[in-house]
A and B are shown apart, each in its own frame.
Chain A
């Protein structure tokens, strides 16, 4: 049953997930059914704890898929593979490796192309330049700012030339200005590398700014509440009325079941 089903880059077929917490089975994800095309930029938003990270981890092969199926590039996912790269909120760099070593550590043992040390060095140097860290090859993570650390982490995620890059709130810990810079940076990378990118974010503005589609998940158990196509040309203007319209549509979906009322100011 692991044959190619269609030319979608990622297919998620009726995936549900439960975790056993304190002896009780808890539904985390409920019947997720999604298809992402090759080269699409997908944003996923949803309340905290609704299972966004779990969904990404399942796509990456880190978490088992027990109910339903996930296919990446036509093959069923059952373990991590070269085809998928991952970037996390906490950059998860190794403090004892410098920038070059951290990126090179991303080379998978199954990556035959990069088994030659010279080729690996050269690609790493190119990637460092590509993410704008030239001159910091030998710097250690603690000598880098949060944004720079995330650049390293992105470079590491790209080194195996994956078809899919999964991003779990990659800019969640950055300040507003750095965040906007990094959003433009990831767009530049996406446009030049033509990779399928799936990004989880808490930031609705960010979701609309980056995504071709924004997937809104409901609170736990997470299920797909709405898929919103963002048909705005890039580079997108966050202050345009069209942008605002999409954003407010998502806000409404987002807070539908949160029962958040307008603040009441009368005494």
Chain B
């Protein structure tokens, strides 16, 4: 019974999108929808093929992925470091706490105009936006993970006369790891969202740019290629992090 159900679930999981695409194709063929606004799946695939053939798709994708990778790396590293500094030192926490609370509330994309003024429309402004999107969620979740460390285990560390560094590396860090991963997954998702927004505002390359340029050219099929790419890459990145988490947090 149970196995049957699992197999059925899997079939539905794979079949549902296919059915959806078929219906979508029919809807376009029979003009149930306005095909000037909604391209058919075939048109989307054709657009993708053309974009791939001219290497444009690859260039846009690489540009976006590169930005996300860099911004995420900076943001996550800073978030973890700052999370530990504030989690460990009361003084540092007091020092930056209030400022962080205010800054955190500013939607990062809202900083874009200011950043363009500071840095121009080069890579820096986009990296800062992506980095910040990652930074806040990694920071918050790292802090939360650190404060959730079992005090009973900390007491064992005290009983065994462990020094502060050992306590941080061997007790607090592993205890905070699951939370840190939650932060990173949220952060990566934020990063991916902010790169698109940033590219729409100021860029000449990237999936976000591709989408907004396609809008100007009224190429709805290209827009759909862009949107699907965003969805699929976003999902793939999340799965990647989840697998990494399962490997690293093996005791969970």
- Residues of chain A at the chain B interface (Cβ within 8 Å): 60, 62, 80-82, 86, 88, 90, 92, 94-96, 105-110, 140-142
A80 touches B251 (CB 8 A): no
Q: Is the CB of A105 within 8 A of B152?
A: no
What is the minimal beta-carbon distance from B158 to any residue of chain A, in angstroms? Answer: 6
- In contact, B159 and A95 (Cβ under 8 angstroms): no
**Hey, which bits of chain B sit against chain A, CB under 8 A?**
152-153, 155-156, 158-163, 166, 170-171, 174, 250-252
| Residue contact B174 to A96, C-beta cutoff 8 Å | yes
Find chain A residues with CB under 8 A from B251 CB.
95-96, 140-142
Can you give 9 contacting A-B residue pairs, CB < 8 Å? A62-B155, A81-B161, A92-B155, A92-B156, A94-B171, A96-B250, A96-B251, A109-B161, A109-B162
Nearest B residue (CB) for A106: B160
Q: Which residues of A contact B156 (CB under 8 A)?
A: 88, 92, 94
Residues of A within 8 A of B155 (CB): 62, 92
| Contact between A88 and B152, CB atoms less than 8 A apart | yes
Contacts of A60 in B (CB 8 A): 159
Among B153, B163, B166, the residue within 8 A (CB) of A92 is: B153
B153, chain A: closest CB distance, angstroms: 6
Known contacts: A62-B159, A80-B161, A95-B251. The answer to whether A90 contacts B152 by CB under 8 A is yes
Given A94-B174, A105-B170, A109-B163, the answer on whether A62 and B158 have CB atoms closer than 8 Å is yes
Q: Which residues of B contact A140 (CB under 8 A)?
A: 250-251
A sample of 11 more A-B contacts (CB under 8 A), given A62-B158, A95-B174, A140-B250, is A60-B159, A80-B158, A80-B161, A90-B152, A92-B155, A94-B170, A95-B252, A105-B160, A108-B160, A108-B161, A110-B161
